[in-house]
Structure 1
Amino acid sequence: MNFLNIDKKKFIVFGLANKKSVAAVIGKTLLAEGAELIHVVRSEERKKTAQKLFPDSRIYTCDVENEENIVRVRDEIASCIDAENGGRVAGIVHSIAFANYSEGMKPFHETIKADFLQAIDISCFSFIAIANHFKDLIARDGSFVTITISTTRMAAENYGYMGPVKAALNSSLCFLAKSFSDFSNIRFNAVAAGLLKTSASAGIPGYVDSYLFAEKAILRKKALTTQEAANTAAFLLSDRSSGINCQTIVVDAGMEVNYFDKDIITKAVS
């Protein structure tokens, strides 16, 4: 038995887009520990990508912006696993975020309502909806893990309204855990990752410069890897983390304590 004790246990991973996705790296990490994977992706195009990366895993499609799709994919997955392992999965990963800056980047106070509400729907409410509709498919001591950002208290201009959206996602953890405690021991936690080199991040205006700055601000002067975030997610999905609930676990290699790094200060004021 390996340390995580997830061998032959089933996990559902929402959100894979390509090989650089956090969801993809989490999936590879779980597979390496002997787990069985079920991937849920947004489109048929992404399904083809997922099938190449995970040829032995079941792949389903679901655009979470339409809640009926979440119900549909729940039923599709349930019909396939009902006879296996009591029809239960050990954990579910939510690695979904979307922002449509329909008129380009604007000052936060000029945020467009439709863009903000769509981002809340896809990036936050989808987590709540997945938890609700999949509650009977997850083991009574199972684990939900979502992916968020290392801090929602820093007003990064190029991240725009997604900071408050992620804050809403973080806040949902304790409310979901409290609701589920009436009938289970299911836990809800988040991996709050620092800046990562993913395709989705690359689409954020000015992200490369922010990423390079983060590398200088990290104590070890080396960027955070997606694998490091995935390792934390795998731990939170396992019963080795059974005492952790309603927590946002920051994975930033110590960046949050080092904004007054002397080298950065010297370059900034010179």
Structure 2
Amino acid sequence: MTAENAAASPPLDFLQLAGKPVLVTGVANKKSVGWHTAKLLADAGAEVKLAVHTAERREKVRKFCGDMTVFVCDVADQDSIDQLATDLADDLRATPLAGLVHSVAFADYSAGWLPFHETPRAAFLQAVDISCFSLTALSNALSDRLDPESGSVVTISISTTRMAAENYGYMAPVKAALDSSVCFLAKSFSRFSKVRFNAVGPGLLKTQSSAGIPGYLDSYLFAERATLRREAVTTPEVANGVAFLLSPRSSGINAQHLTIDAGMGVNYFDADLVRDAVS
């Protein structure tokens, strides 16, 4: 094939998602993982649907999401989740949902930094409800909409829940529960479908939501130095991983956690980091 013929040929549908509907939840702004994933999927030809927290957020998202359909869903309210399922069924009619992206997390840090043992009960339970149980609630509500043969559900976790980052606090145990939920949902759905469940665990990202974490900037700068390439993970790189796990190309991957941290997890004893720490 000549270069001219190659340029004239239609792009290869590598993800095999062209024309297929995918629901992306949790889009907050242009810097969010949800939006980068939605844009990547749309560029690949997928029919992207969005679900956001409030009607006010929907109006903001509509300013940059083009012709994507935007639903409102408060994942802390079961009635709202059920309404999303109804609205989505009306919108898709008989077309099965190829994928669901769960990019939802919330933590109330209004009390400031506290040692973990002083975590407010209400804040912890709210974080579990919104950031973790919402995956189960959404999956259950949409169980008859997801394509039983090739449907894929991907949630956004963190690179590791075994590192006691004090400023991240109780959200690490919440994400650990999310990671475990992925395994149990994969097993549960396997009784009646081939729907897959996986998690993507990024290293520290530069997003608007992360800015609300106490002391995040210092942690971000340290994490960047700890990566093997000395460059932080980017949100588009995370979106690439999410899109792959949504795609039939990853059909053999189920109940897994894909870490995207640019090698940070193997580099804590880097000679430069150690020298700076002990000098």
The root-mean-square deviation of aligned C-alpha atoms, in Å, is 0.8
TM-score by length of 1: 0.97
Q: Secondary structure at the match of 1:87?
A: coil
How do 1:163-174 and structure 2 match up within 5 A? Answer: 163-174=172-183
Distance (Å, rounded) in 2 between the aligned partners of 1:56 and 1:94: 21
Overall identity of the aligned pairs, in %? 57
Between stretches 57-66 and 41-50, larger displacement belongs to 41-50
1:123 aligned to 131, 144, 147, which one?
A: 131
Which residue matches 2:5? none
- Alignment partner of 1:89: what SS? coil
Distance 2:43 2:219 in 1: 32
Once the two structures are superposed, what CA deviation does each residue of 1:169-217 show, in whole Å capped at 9, x if it has no partner?
0000111011101110000000000000100011101111111101100
Q: CA deviation at 1:49?
A: 2.3
Aligned partner of 2:9 in structure 1 is: none
Q: Does 1:182 align with 2:191?
A: yes
> What count of residue pairs does the alignment treat as equivalent?
267
Distance in 2 (alpha carbons) for counterparts of 1:215 and 1:103:
28
Contact 1:218 1:254 in 2 (8 A): yes
Aligned residue number for residue 66 of structure 2:
55
- 1:264 corresponds in structure 2 to 273
CA displacement at 1:74 relative to structure 2: 0.9
Q: CA deviation at 1:80?
A: 1.3
3-state SS of paired residue (1:197): coil
For 2:33 and 2:139, the matched residues in 1 are separated by 20
Give 2:109's aligned amino acid: Y
1:205 maps to 2:214? yes
The answer to whether the 8 Å contact 2:27/2:52 transfers is: yes
Kept in 2, the 8 Å contact 1:218–1:252? The answer is: yes
Q: Is this contact kept in 2: 1:102–1:115, CA < 8 A? A: no
Regions of 4+ moved over 3 Å: none
Q: Tell whether 2:245 aligns with 1:236.
A: yes
Match of 2:15 in 1: 4
Structure-2 residue corresponding to 1:31: 42
Q: Tell me, in whole angstroms, the C-alpha distance in 2 between the residues paired with 1:80 and 1:227.
A: 28
1:142 counterpart = 2:151:
yes
Q: Unmatched 5+ residue regions in structure 1?
A: none
8 Å contact from structure 2 (residues 112, 214) kept in 1: no
The alpha carbon displacement at 1:101 in A equals: 2.6
Shift of 1:45: 2.2
Report deviation, 1:32. Answer: 1.1
- Contact kept, 8 Å, 1:65 with 1:121, in 2: the verdict is yes
Deviations 1:100-145 (A, max 9, x none): 1342221101111111000000000000000000011110120000
CA distance in structure 2 between the partners assigned to 1:203 and 1:154 by the alignment: 19
Max radius of gyration: which structure?
2
1:251 aligns with 2:260: yes
> Is the aligned partner of 1:154 residue 2:151?
no
- In structure 2, the partner of 1:192 is 201
Secondary structure of residue in 1 paired with 2:237 = helix
